[in-house]
């Protein structure tokens, strides 16, 4: 027993020698050591390496004054701190924030993670329901709304017994208000008490998926789809964004005469809208990531592979790469398709941008992160569970694989309630390769990227982290995009010009 006690004492003495801090010595005061330690840690933060000009410092002081005021109020009245609330509750408060007011004006670079049918403002989406020839039905079992454009009343289906022309229903003054309210609510997750209604991850995902089903027959009508996409680009450009990479499942898109477009033709429609938008806004660029649902069998996945090959052959410059989407916890693990993905890589030069780690589980769903790393995913969508995997974190950092963080999405979909507790706070503290994206802004009433930038700036950064974080996020979004070297160089020049204009504008207002 004595030799065990001696061994333990020796171990304690050795540990004390190893862990003795270099900051404290007989010649050094406690306060100097404390300052040095704080400085050493701050130098690890996202954006710290950037040097501010004298003009930027003036604008930064205004931003930090607003930030510190909000943080002080949150410290005194924690219940009022906006990033700690579900965004569905906090949205109106954020819109009154002085920090948000500044962030709306800040150039943001690129959006690298957004989904095809959930990118536009809710109000614009609702206004599209006044398009001619739109029929509506309420499903028999789930009581959900379905839409379809047609020249005559659609036939009964397994879901729908009765279709009605929406414009005629709106002429009935006794039901029109309730009807319009139901349509609006069918487009978003907005409810009076989200914490009660969406009490767990599966419950909110059920509503989440139902919205996409509602939008299916509506946005897949070619004329509406084109108007929708053009408005998406316009809203993003208005929010100081210069590049977009959006993911899409490529659903069947149709005309009134019954014509249905295949996947290759649909991407052609996407590209035609991009070119039309660029005729007015030549600085704005777009790329597409084919991202079908992950909850499929091997036969369906084989069909995905063929679609990818066809898209790559026809739109190699517009197609950024391939991904799989849908709720990870209830989907098929990426490892089930690993062999086919490896073979695809050998056959064509295609990049992967996998959703992975969008989960609170450890040693289960989060293992999709391994496939993202081993299959050389260029970025990781969400990556919420990455901090649970120190070895993967090391590899991701070394390889420069950016984590696409979508703060509002992670909160609304019940991964985290208080955004201060989001794993991204750790990533920001170590200048990890990260970008901020908006995922599905339509579904929670957001527009563009400003809301997610606000949440990240107020929740993931320290008290003293400043405008350099926001500028670095803009740089990151361009550097980690799928653009080639020449495109990135052009985008960086555009971003710098936008940034200088923003700084000058803010100084004029002071």
For 213-235, how does the pLDDT look when each residue is reduced to its tens digit (9 = 90+)? 999 889 999 999 999 999 999 99
Residues 236, 133: one domain? no
* CA–CA gap between residue 88 and residue 128 (Å, rounded): 23
Residue 4 has pLDDT above 70, yes or no: no
- pLDDT (average), residues 268-289: 98
pLDDT at 92 over 50: yes
pLDDT of 28 reads 67
Residue 61 lies in a domain: no
Are 109 and 179 part of one and the same domain?
no
149 and 297 assigned to the same domain? no
Give which of 89, 93, 113 is closest to 101, Cα–Cα: 93
Q: What pLDDT, on the 0 to 100 scale, is given for residue 379?
A: 98
Q: Specify the pLDDT at position 279.
A: 98
When pLDDT is averaged across residues 249-254 and rounded to a whole number, the result is 95
Q: Which two tokens stand for residue 411?
A: 């909160």
Are both 169 and 106 inside the same structural domain?
no
Q: Are 358 and 377 in contact (CB under 8 A)?
A: no
Q: For the segment 297-324, what is each residue's pLDDT rounded down to a tens digit?
A: 999 999 999 999 999 999 999 999 999 9
Verify that 309 and 429 share a domain, yes or no.
Answer: yes
Query: Domain check: are 374 and 403 in the same one?
Result: yes
- 373 & 398 share domain: yes
Of residues 509, 480, 318, 474, the one with CA closest to residue 397: 480
The answer to whether position 271 is within a domain reads: yes
Residues 421 and 463 in one domain: yes
- Is residue 68 in some structural domain? no
Same-domain status, 266 and 180: no
Residues 405 and 303 in one domain: yes
Question: Is there a contact between 357 and 323 (Cβ–Cβ < 8 Å)?
Answer: no
Q: How many alpha carbons fall within 13 Å on the CB side of residue 103?
A: 28
| Higher local confidence (pLDDT), 161 or 299 | 299
- 431 domain residue, yes or no: yes
18 pLDDT higher than 50: no
Share of the chain above pLDDT 90, in %: 84
What is the structure's pLDDT at 15? 43
* Residue range 45-58: mean pLDDT, rounded: 96
Query: What pLDDT was estimated at residue 190?
Result: 82
Are residues 165 and 153 in contact, defined by beta-carbon separation less than 8 angstroms?
yes
The predicted pLDDT at position 14 comes to: 46
Q: What is the pLDDT of residue 19?
A: 46
59 found inside a domain: no
Structural domains in the chain (count): 2
Looking at every residue in the chain, the average pLDDT score rounds to: 93
With bands split at pLDDT 50, 70 and 90, how would you rate the model's confidence at 8?
very low
pLDDT at 262 over 50: yes
Q: β-strands 402-405, 379-382: how paired?
A: parallel
Predicted confidence at residue 12, as pLDDT, reads 47
Write out the E strands in 68-204: 109-115, 134-138, 145-149, 164-165
E strand or H helix that includes residue 243: strand 241-248
Q: What pLDDT is stored for residue 108 in this prediction?
A: 98
User: What pLDDT band is residue 69 in, cutting at 50, 70 and 90?
Assistant: very high
Residue-level pLDDT at 193: 81
Cα radius of gyration rounded to whole Å, the chain: 25
Beta carbons of 296 and 249 less than 8 angstroms apart: no
- Residue 501, token pair as written in the block: 């204009």
CATH of the domain at 505: 3.20.20.140
Tell me the helix, strand and coil percentages in the chain, rounded to 5.
55, 10, 35
pLDDT, mean of residues 380-400 = 97
Rounded average pLDDT over 486-494: 98
pLDDT of residue 13 exceeding 60: no
Instruction: Specify the pLDDT at position 149.
Output: 96
Question: What digits encode the pLDDT tens for the residues 200-210?
Answer: 888 888 888 89
Residue 37 lies in a domain: no
Top pLDDT among 2 and 49 is at 49
Mean pLDDT calculated for residue range 406-434: 97
pLDDT at 1: 52
- pLDDT tier for residue 485 given thresholds of 50, 70 and 90: very high
Q: What is the pLDDT averaged over residues 183-188?
A: 92
User: Percent of the chain having pLDDT more than 70?
Assistant: 95
Cα dihedral 117, 123, 124, 127, rounded to 10, equals 110
Q: Judge whether residue 459 has pLDDT over 50.
A: yes
Q: Mean pLDDT over residues 64-87, rounded?
A: 97
Encoded tokens for 242: 């210069």
- The two structure tokens encoding residue 447: 């527009």
Average pLDDT over residues 342-350: 94
| Mean pLDDT in residue range 426-431 | 97
- Closest by CA position to 269, among listed 219, 343, 339, 313: 219
Contacts of 447 (CB under 8 A, 6+ apart): 121, 235, 239, 441
- Cα within 13 Å of Cα(152), Cβ side: 3
Q: Check if the beta carbon of residue 410 is closer than 8 Å to that of residue 386.
A: no
Q: Are residues 364 and 241 in the same domain?
A: yes
User: Does the residue 13 lie in any domain?
Assistant: no
Range scoring the smallest mean pLDDT among 36-45, 64-73, 109-118: 36-45
Domain that holds residue 358: 87-121+228-509
Catalytic residues: 358, 382
Do β-strands 164-165 and 134-138 pair in parallel, antiparallel, or remain unpaired? antiparallel
Q: What is the DSSP string of 341-398?
A: HHHHHHHS---B--EE--SS-SSSGGGHHHHHHHTTBSEEEE-TTGGG-HHHHHHHHH
| Secondary structure of 129-146 in HEC code, one letter for each residue | HHCCCEEEEECCCCCCEE
């Amino acid at each position: 027993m004595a030799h065990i006690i001696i061994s333990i004492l020796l171990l304690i003495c050795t540990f004390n020698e190893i862990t003795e801090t270099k900051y404290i010595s007989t010649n050094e005061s406690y306060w100097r050591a404390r300052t040095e330690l704080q400085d050493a840690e701050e130098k690890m933060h996202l954006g710290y390496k950037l040097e501010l000009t004298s003009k930027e410092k003036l604008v930064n002081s205004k931003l930090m004054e607003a930030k510190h005021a909000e943080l002080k109020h949150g410290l005194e009245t924690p219940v009022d701190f906006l990033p700690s609330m579900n965004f569905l509750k906090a949205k109106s408060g954020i819109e009154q924030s002085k920090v948000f007011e500044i962030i709306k004006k800040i150039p943001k670079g690129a959006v690298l993670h957004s989904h095809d049918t959930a990118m536009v403002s809710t109000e614009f989406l609702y206004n599209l329901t006044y398009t001619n020839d739109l029929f509506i039905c309420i499903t028999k079992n789930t009581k959900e709304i379905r839409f379809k454009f047609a020249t005559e009343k659609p036939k009964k289906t397994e879901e729908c017994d009765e279709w009605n022309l929406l414009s005629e229903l709106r002429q009935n003054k006794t039901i029109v208000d309730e009807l319009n309210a139901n349509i609006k609510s069918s487009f978003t997750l907005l409810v009076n008490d989200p914490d009660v209604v969406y009490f767990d991850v599966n419950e909110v995902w059920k509503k989440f998926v139902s919205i996409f089903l509602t939008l299916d027959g509506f946005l897949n009508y070619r004329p509406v789809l084109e108007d929708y996409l053009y408005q998406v680009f316009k809203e993003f450009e208005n929010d100081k964004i210069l590049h977009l990479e959006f993911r899409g499942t490529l659903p069947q898109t149709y005309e009134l005469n019954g014509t249905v477009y295949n996947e290759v033709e649909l991407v052609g429609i996407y590209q035609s809208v991009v070119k039309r938008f660029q005729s007015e806004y030549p600085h704005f660029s777009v790329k597409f990531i084919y991202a079908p649902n992950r909850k499929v069998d091997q036969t369906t996945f084989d069909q995905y592979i063929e679609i990818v090959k066809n898209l790559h052959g026809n739109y190699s410059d517009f197609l950024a790469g391939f991904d799989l989407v849908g709720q990870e916890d209830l989907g098929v693990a990426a490892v089930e398709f690993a062999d086919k993905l490896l073979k695809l890589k050998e056959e064509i030069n295609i990049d992967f941008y996998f959703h992975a780690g969008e989960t609170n589980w450890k040693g289960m769903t989060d293992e999709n992160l391994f496939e993202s790393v081993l299959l050389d995913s260029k970025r990781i969508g969400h990556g919420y569970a990455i901090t649970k995997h120190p070895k993967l974190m090391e590899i991701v950092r070394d390889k420069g694989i950016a984590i696409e963080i979508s703060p509002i999405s992670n909160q609304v979909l019940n991964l985290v309630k208080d955004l201060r507790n989001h794993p991204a706070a750790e990533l920001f503290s170590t200048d990890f390769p990260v970008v901020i994206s908006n995922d599905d802004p339509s579904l929670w009433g957001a527009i563009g990227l400003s809301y997610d930038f606000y949440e990240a700036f107020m929740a993931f950064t320290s008290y003293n982290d400043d405008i350099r974080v926001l500028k670095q996020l803009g740089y990151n979004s361009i550097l980690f995009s799928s653009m080639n070297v020449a495109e990135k160089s052009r985008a960086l020049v555009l971003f710098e010009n936008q940034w200088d204009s923003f700084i000058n504008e803010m100084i004029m207002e002071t």
